[in-house]
Structure 1
Amino acid sequence: MLDSVKIQRRQSEIRQSLAELVGKEAPSEDETRSMEDMDKEYRANEVRYRAALVAEDEERREAKDDLETRSDREWSELMGQFEMRQVALALDEGRALDGQTAEIVTELRERGGYRGVPVPWEALEQRAGETIASGTPDPMQTRPIIDRLFPQSVAARMGGQMINIPQGEVEYPVVTSSVTASWQATETGNVADPSAYATTDKPLAPDHTLGIQMKLTRKTLKQSGQALEQAVRRDMNGAMSQEMDRVAFLGSGSSGEPDGVIAGASGYGITETAVDAAASWSAFRAAVTRFMLANAAGSPSAVRLLIRPEVWDAMDDAYIDTGTGLTEWDRLVKNIPAGNIAMSPNALAAPTGDPAESSALLTTNVGGVPPFFVATWGAVDLIRDPYSDAQSGGLRLTALATMDVTVARGVQLEVLTGVQ
């Protein structure tokens, strides 16, 4: 118990005792001395109480911070105990879920409807300390599965914000009104009339579902053992990350895909500028200047750049001064930090034409608002299908995820085309 609380309780007891003694018309000498002692103790406790509040102020702040972060920390720890192995056994053998995995699945089912077993997004993360079975005794020993190569995600590196929506749609109101300032021209003159405060809603809707299907043969199920669970999780994670990263920038807006930031630039109100020249710092500098003139960026270091690896290759080989070895790439990273530059063959279309031309994307974060949002709904829905491959004893697993992409303010992004 805190000292301040103990002192408060003692003060309450003293006041109660004093009230009983003060009510007597002729208190005895012992009662009078008792009142004097309690009065001294009461005054001393007031000083101790103020000192205790000062000493406990820091403890209260620490406790407040702990309460604010405790729920997120407990949820993260709970997700760390989710076992994909139990999901695989439940789908394959009908085994009942137990422990933390059963608790998580039950909570996810209460939040939304799933045909199969809901798998939280956190369960797809590659966790530190995980091991893979070295194989099972067999005439042929199967070693750990070597994964496919997937491109690294660039959506987060370009400032995009990943948000998870339990259900329904989400809208972000963006101010579109133009308020101008004016001066009073004369002593009795008026300033400009007020302008309406107008906003435009940028919706995120669960209209786009991404599906991944995995076919597991009977031999794989019998031979790989626990290594299969790890491999399926990693492969699902990589395939989903690759496709979500691609459509975030190159989504066509048709055939079930959301509108990507680059492919749907005109619909989002994003400026598209044709460079039609060799990649150089001057071409990117002009775009950065436009950002700064639009109050979207305060300096080149606030800008993020997405390019193809071929553009880096061309710029690093374009020498400005052969004597010093200075290249166009050196000039670029001198102004835009290397940590703000992302190179991806997945988020940008391959170069075409002669000379080969590609696109580039510039983004910036303004007032804490990310340049674009990538939303996911609920959890990954993992569905078991034992019938399609029943003749061969195989099993099909389908993972479904719903997502959408939107841009809050087009002025925070710019697409450069014709970068040679």
Structure 2
Amino acid sequence: MLESVRIARRQSEIRQQLATLAANPTPTEDETRSMETLDLEYRTNETRYRAALIAEDTERREAGADLETRSGQEYAELLARFELRQVALSLDNGRALDGATAEIVTELRNTGGYRGIPVPWAALELRNTVAAGTPDPISTRPIIDRLFPDSIAARMGAQMIQIDHGATEWPVTTAGATVGWQATETGNVGGPTPFQTADRPMKPDHTLGVQMRLTRKAMLQTGSALEQAVRRDMNAAMAVELDRATFLGTGADGQPLGVITGRATYDIALQEVDELATWGAFRAGVTAFMTGNAASGAASINAMIRPELWDFLDGAIWDAGSGLTEWDRLSKHLPNTYTTNNGLAAPAGDPLATMSLLTTSTGGIAPIFVGMWGAIDLIRDPYSDAQAGGLRLTALATKDVTVARPAQLRVLSGLEIAAGE
């Protein structure tokens, strides 16, 4: 019990005793001495009570600061002990979950409905192992980096949003404050315009399924062998498809509408180059960002290109005397240029041309939002591979993509990498 609470209770008892003694019009000498003793104790306790409150306030602040960080630290440590091996064995032969794995699964079940066993997204992080074979998890980072460190979506500034249930919207200002000078001494300044917003919703309408086959040999292996195999398979398969859908999702057949495929829907600016690719084409896009107050300079802009475009730029000599290529110029001014064959469609047409995407973060707001609902739902299929004694697992993940401010993105098309016939 806190000392302040103990003193407060004693003060209440003293007041009751004093009230009883004060009600006696002719107190005896013993009662008079009792009143003096109680009064002295009461005044002393008042000083002790104030001192106790001051001391306990400091303790509360320290404890509060510890609690604010403890929950996140403890959960991160709990996730580090999550074992996919337990999940696979539980689905295969009904083995009961225990330890940190059981605790996390129970917590996830309390926040959402799952047909199988829920697996947290953080459990897909790839882990290093020391010589003795003891798992040594890497440090926890923002969730999209922690899931897929090499994800092109993460490098292009996309932000992962964890959603428990329902739909999520981001209101974006489309019209607001205006400025204007007073034209005459008695005139009015420019009139106001209504403050307007547009909603950018994300809905749980797109579910990705990943199937894994675990052989009997794999399930009989001990330690981290099965653990790492499952992590690698799920991580690689989901990373590739989630990256592709973020940019090239068709918006049909269950896929979310990707950023590049849905350029017109998201109202993203299109810069039609339609000539041999050079740094000059990218420079025009950077200039458009700066004139639109979306970026302060080229260093804050991310660029996504195809490997074929890199090959062309690196071979296009800009200055024969110095040997500088167009790639040298591009990489110098746009250090955050990333190459992918997954987020952009293959070059096509005559002349052969490709596309590029430029993004930037403005005011702490990411150019792309990727919503992930709940956890991964891991479901058992014991029949498909029953004759071989294997187990087939299906992992279901629900995802959506949206763009909050299209001014933070720009698509460059018609970047020619070959001469026409």
Unpaired runs of 5+ in structure 2? 1-43, 134-147
User: Which residue type is aligned with residue 285 of structure 1?
Assistant: R
Match in the other structure for 1:26: none
1:318 has 2:312 as partner: no
Q: 1:187 to 1:355 in 2, by over 3 A?
A: same
Which stretch shows the higher mean deviation, 316-325 or 99-108?
A: 316-325
User: Which residue type is aligned with residue 370 of structure 1?
Assistant: A
Which stretch shows the higher mean deviation, 121-130 or 394-403?
A: 121-130
Match in the other structure for 2:406: 410
Unpaired runs of 5+ in structure 1? 1-40, 134-149
Match in the other structure for 1:366: 362
Q: Deviations over 1:104-126 (max 9, x none)?
A: 11111111111111111111111
Q: Deviations over 1:350-390 (max 9, x none)?
A: 11234431111000111000001011000000000112333
Q: Per-residue deviation at 1:314?
A: 1.8
Q: What is the rounded CA distance, in whole Å, between the counterparts of 1:122 and 1:223 in structure 2? A: 23
Q: 1:250 to 1:377 in 2, by over 3 A?
A: same
Give yes or no for contact 2:212–2:233 (8 Å, CA) kept in 1: no
Match in the other structure for 2:381: 385
1:219-258 to structure 2, matched below 5 A, reads 219-222=217-220, 227-258=225-256
Q: What is the rounded CA distance, in whole Å, between the counterparts of 1:288 and 1:247 in structure 2? A: 26
User: Which residue type is aligned with residue 215 of structure 1?
Assistant: R
- Corresponding residue pairs, total: 399
Residue in structure 2 matching 1:201, options 199, 202, 214: 199
Give yes or no for contact 1:279–1:311 (8 Å, CA) kept in 2: no
Give yes or no for contact 2:156–2:302 (8 Å, CA) kept in 1: yes
RMSD across aligned C-alpha pairs, in angstroms? 4.0
Q: What is the rounded CA distance, in whole Å, between the counterparts of 2:149 and 2:352 in structure 1? A: 22
Match in the other structure for 1:104: 104
User: Which residue type is aligned with residue 320 of structure 1?
Assistant: W
Q: 1:318 to 1:356 in 2, by over 3 A?
A: same
Q: What is the rounded CA distance, in whole Å, between the counterparts of 2:332 and 2:63 in structure 1? A: 44
Q: Per-residue deviation at 1:267?
A: 0.4
Match in the other structure for 2:172: 174
Q: What is the rounded CA distance, in whole Å, between the counterparts of 2:131 and 2:248 in structure 1? A: 36
Match in the other structure for 2:266: 268
Give yes or no for contact 2:179–2:190 (8 Å, CA) kept in 1: yes
Q: Per-residue deviation at 1:62?
A: 7.1
1:296 has 2:267 as partner: no
Q: 1:108 to 1:415 in 2, by over 3 A?
A: same
Q: 1:300 to 1:349 in 2, by over 3 A?
A: same
User: Which residue type is aligned with residue 341 of structure 1?
Assistant: T
Q: Deviations over 1:234-260 (max 9, x none)?
A: 111111011001110111111111011
User: Which residue type is aligned with residue 279 of structure 1?
Assistant: T
Q: Per-residue deviation at 1:410?
A: 0.5
User: Which residue type is aligned with residue 75 of structure 1?
Assistant: Y
1:279 has 2:278 as partner: yes
Match in the other structure for 1:83: 83
Q: What is the rounded CA distance, in whole Å, between the counterparts of 2:78 and 2:122 in structure 1? A: 10
Give yes or no for contact 2:178–2:191 (8 Å, CA) kept in 1: no
Give yes or no for contact 1:362–1:414 (8 Å, CA) kept in 2: yes
Q: Deviations over 1:46-72 (max 9, x none)?
A: xx99xxx9x999999876654433222
Give yes or no for contact 1:303–1:363 (8 Å, CA) kept in 2: yes
Q: What is the rounded CA distance, in whole Å, between the counterparts of 2:233 and 2:173 in structure 1? A: 42
1:351 has 2:350 as partner: no
Q: Deviations over 1:199-233 (max 9, x none)?
A: 11111110000001122344554468852332122
Q: What is the rounded CA distance, in whole Å, between the counterparts of 2:104 and 2:282 in structure 1? A: 48
Q: 1:408 to 1:265 in 2, by over 3 A?
A: same
SS, match of residue 332 in structure 2? helix
Q: Per-residue deviation at 1:309?
A: 1.9
Q: What is the rounded CA distance, in whole Å, between the counterparts of 1:72 and 1:329 in structure 2? A: 43
Q: What is the rounded CA distance, in whole Å, between the counterparts of 1:346 and 1:324 in structure 2? A: 34
Q: Per-residue deviation at 1:393?
A: 3.0
Q: What is the rounded CA distance, in whole Å, between the counterparts of 1:242 and 1:66 in structure 2? A: 39
Q: What is the rounded CA distance, in whole Å, between the counterparts of 1:201 and 1:412 in structure 2? A: 16
Give yes or no for contact 2:206–2:400 (8 Å, CA) kept in 1: yes
Which stretch shows the higher mean deviation, 194-203 or 67-76?
A: 67-76
User: Which residue type is aligned with residue 345 of structure 1?
Assistant: N
Q: 1:184 to 1:223 in 2, by over 3 A?
A: closer
Match in the other structure for 1:212: 210
SS, match of residue 330 in structure 1? helix
Q: What is the rounded CA distance, in whole Å, between the counterparts of 2:326 and 2:243 in structure 1? A: 28
SS, match of residue 242 in structure 1? helix
Give yes or no for contact 1:132–1:230 (8 Å, CA) kept in 2: no
Q: Give the TM-score of the pair, scaled to structure 2.
A: 0.79
SS, match of residue 156 in structure 1? helix
Q: 1:153 to 1:396 in 2, by over 3 A?
A: same
Q: What is the rounded CA distance, in whole Å, between the counterparts of 1:61 and 1:334 in structure 2? A: 49
User: Which residue type is aligned with residue 385 of structure 1?
Assistant: D
Give yes or no for contact 1:88–1:229 (8 Å, CA) kept in 2: no
Which stretch shows the higher mean deviation, 390-399 or 282-291?
A: 390-399
Q: 1:60 to 1:354 in 2, by over 3 A?
A: farther
User: Which residue type is aligned with residue 394 of structure 1?
Assistant: G
Q: What is the rounded CA distance, in whole Å, between the counterparts of 2:195 and 2:132 in structure 1? A: 58
